Structure 1
């Protein structure tokens, strides 16, 4: 296992604006965070270049930075929508286009995993909706990793995610386990991990106190990380532990953001040593 981070680790600013990932990659590289999860949730910003016809130039910039700084893009996160089935047709089609574009970006940047949120609804609803995207992922040689969510009307139970991935019967489908979401739902994290077994292909590592999705670094909340890491070792998990911890440093002045990267790296090294 290795420590990785979402590109959103230091993207949130005091005024609630967000810094685009192309402007952050050099900082991660300088501080030794070489494994990065590209946050294509930037597409949710209506003014994002990733939503425009100019998006290929943005992908080229990412590819250039990857090579320039010897980075590895271990996974990415697709834009998400909660209640996809109730959207007006025009909005639904726009979201579908962004999801397909995320898969295209993964292929162009040789990113092996795209993390996706199940839509609100049943396992059967998700099977029907995601089937064409799984077919696209198979052609692109990208694995879709379905994430466990946290709202009551979403897919939160690991048993449902296992049923979903097994029903696709595709090597291009797996599970991304979000530790923070599971903790909020009161899950036994060790039991979840042991149940997922080889279906677990990606992670979102974040801590909280069991009530809100705080996106804190490990040990700043109440998750038992020693027990969690031991469970990962028990199933032979060889993927990455990928931070999704963007709020613990949001209110730091920009000049101090680099120290947040250093702290995250130190915490990660401790986590791996458990």
Structure 2
């Protein structure tokens, strides 16, 4: 296992704005984060560089920085709609970005509804992923009308029967729903291909660093080791530092790295 982080780790600012990932990759690399999950939810920013006619040039800049900074892009997160509908154009663009940058996994949110609805909704995108040799990793969500149970994700993964379908396990969502995380991990087994690692206190999706909330991290790491999970532990912890000025965010990056190294030490 490796420690990775979403590119949104220090992107949220005090004034409500968000810093684009292209301006942050150098900071992540300097503080030891060489494995990154590209947060393509930047596409939802109407004034951002990933929208409009210049998005391919922006992807080119990311590709250049990947080489210059010796980075690995382990996965990406597709944009999603809060009403559960698939954002068709942006999802197809996300697949193209992943293909261009050599990203093997694209995390997606299931639509609202059950397994059958998602099988129908995502069928064409699974075919697109197969053609591009990308895995769509369906994430467990946290709202009452969303897909929250790993048993549903497993059923859907098995129904697709495709090497381009797997599961991304969000520890924060699972803990908020009161799950036994170790049990979930054992149930997912080989279908688990990616993670969103975040902590909370069991009430809200706080996106905290591990040990800032109440998740049993020793139990999580032990379960991942027992199923021989060979993917990454990818932080999605953007809210523990969002109100800090930039100079203190750099210290927060260092703290995140220390926490990550400690997590990895528990897997030995």
Into which bin does the TM-score normalised by the smaller protein fall?
A: over 0.9
**Any unmatched runs of 5+ in structure 2?**
none
Q: How many residues align?
A: 266
Match of 1:50, SS state, is coil
- Shift in Å, 1:44: 1.1
Verify: 1:104 aligned to 2:99, yes or no. Answer: no
2:81 corresponds to which residue? 81
* Mapped partners of 1:197, 1:189: distance in 2: 12
Match of 2:167, SS state, is strand
- Shift in Å, 1:83: 2.7
Match of 2:130, SS state, is helix
1:138 corresponds to which residue? 130
* Mapped partners of 2:82, 2:226: distance in 1: 33
User: Aligned-pair RMSD on alpha carbons?
Assistant: 0.8
* Mapped partners of 2:84, 2:152: distance in 1: 18
What are the Cα deviations for residues 178-212 of structure 1, in whole angstroms up to 9, with x where unaligned? 00000000000010000000000000000000000
**Any unmatched runs of 5+ in structure 1?**
86-91
1:89 corresponds to which residue? none
1:59 corresponds to which residue? 59
1:201 corresponds to which residue? 193
Q: Which residue among 211, 231, 252 is the counterpart of 2:203? A: 211
- TM-score w.r.t. structure 1 length? 0.96
- Shift in Å, 1:49: 2.4
Do 1:82 and 1:120's aligned partners in 2 also have CA atoms closer than 8 Å?
no
Match of 1:70, SS state, is coil
What are the Cα deviations for residues 69-100 of structure 1, in whole angstroms up to 9, with x where unaligned? 00000000000113345xxxxxx6xx200000
4+ aligned runs moved over 3 Å, structure 1: none
- TM-score w.r.t. structure 2 length? 0.98
Match of 1:49, SS state, is coil
